Each structure stands twice: as C-alpha cells, then as structure tokens.
Chain A
Amino acid sequence: GEDVEQSLFLSVREGDSSVINCTYTDSSSTYLYWYKQEPGAGLQLLTYIFSNMDMKQDQRLTVLLNKKDKHLSLRIADTQTGDSAIYFCAEGTTGTASKLTFGTGTRLQVTL
C-alpha cells in the first residue's frame, strides 16, 4: 500500500531556514500536501502541490517536488518560534474522494 515517511524531529534556530523532508511510495499521487499541527489543535493546511509541478512558493514557504525520487520538501524561510509545531506530509490521488495518506509528522523545534 501507499506509504509516506518523514524524519521525526528537526531543531533550528530562530531566523534560520528549516527544511522538512518527506518520501512517498505511490507513483500515482496527484497531490502532495503539507499540514501543520500545533499542540492540541487540528490540522492546518499550509500548502499543496500538484504532481506535475516541481516547485511552489507561498510567502515564506517553498515546496520542492522530485517526482522521480518521490521526494517532497518544505522549506520555511526565516523560521520563527511560532513555526514550532508538527508538520505532516500527505499524498493523495484524484478520484471520488480525498483519501490522504499521511506521514508520521516532523516535530519542528525553533530555538532562540
């Protein structure tokens, strides 16, 4: 079945860039997503990318997709303490519904 893998933990200093990586196995994935989960909160959609794109930029966020290697990354520029959260990578395919497969999540810790 589909699988999505992420590293569990990343620590960066405030002001530095953070890069969170993700690998997936389903070659038919159409959409790849990044969600943010703050403690005790729900899943906030940060950004998503279509599989026919290589890159998407949205303010401080840059998503890079290497479809050949099935590798997705999220770069957060000028990381702030408010960016501390768990970041989930997820993949999905078009069809009758959005059945997403999530990674384990990467906990981003931003230090002063």
Chain B
Amino acid sequence: EPEVTQTPSHQVTQMGQEVILRCVPISNHLYFYWYRQILGQKVEFLVSFYNNEISEKSEIFDDQFSVERPDGSNFTLKIRSTKLEDSAMYFCASNLGLGRTGELFFGEGSRLTVL
C-alpha cells in the first residue's frame, strides 16, 4: 500500500540552527501538507502546498518556515533558525486534492528536539 515517508525520524539540534525535514508524498497525490504536534498538545495545521506554491498557511508558519518541492518526489520543510518552542513532531501529509479531500494520508512523523 502506498504511504507517505518522512526522514529523519528524529533530529536533535541546537537553538538557532537550520533544520530541513524531508517527506516523500504518495506518488500520484497533488496536495501536500505539514502539520505539527507539540508533546501533549493538539495536531496543528502549518501549511498546504499545491502546484508548486503555498495554498494556505497558519499563523504558526512565519518567516522562519519555508517549504519546497525540489524535485518530483520530495517535499521539504525548512526551519531557518530553530527555537526551543519548535520542538515537536512534524507530520507530512498528502492527498489527491479536490473531490478526494476526504482521504488525507499522514507520514509517521519527524520528531524535532531543539536544545
């Protein structure tokens, strides 16, 4: 069964460092997303991406965050200068798009720990 894959599964970084989290969405999907879950809190929407541009972003997704689809398969989330409060599990997701938005598939997550 096709799945969304994410790397790394866990990254530890120092405050102020840049981090790139990688995702390979399901191959025929058109919409890509990042969500995050701070430990013990709700899963929160960060950003959606379609046709090589951001469709929507939350207020969490400030100038320190960026997304990119550098090739036909990868979808990345970059945090330019990490803060302690960026420590969370980051989930990538994808779906086919309009008319099939009900089926949103998540990866297993990348745990980011900022020290």
Which residues of A pack against B, CB within 8 Å? 30-31, 33, 35, 41-45, 48, 50, 88, 90, 92, 94-105
B75 within 8 A of A: no
Which residues of B pack against A, CB within 8 Å? 31, 33, 35, 41-45, 48, 50, 55-56, 58, 91, 93, 95, 98, 101-109
Give the contacting residue for A104; candidates B42, B56, B108; CB below 8 A. B42
Extra contacts, 7 of them, besides A43-B91, A92-B104, A100-B104 (Cβ < 8 A), are A31-B102, A33-B102, A44-B106, A48-B102, A94-B98, A98-B93, A101-B45
A102 and B42 within 8 A (CB): yes
Find chain A residues with CB under 8 A from B95 CB: 98
B42 and A103 within 8 A (CB): yes
Please classify the interface of chain B as helix (H, G, I), strand (E, B), loop, or mixed, using the class held by over half of its residues. Answer: strand
A41 and B102 within 8 A (CB): no
Shortest distance from the beta carbon of B42 to any chain A beta carbon, whole Å? 5
Find chain B residues with CB under 8 A from A44 CB: 106
B101 and A94 within 8 A (CB): yes
Question: Which A-B residue pairs are the 4 nearest by beta carbons?
Answer: A97-B48, A42-B108, A43-B106, A102-B43
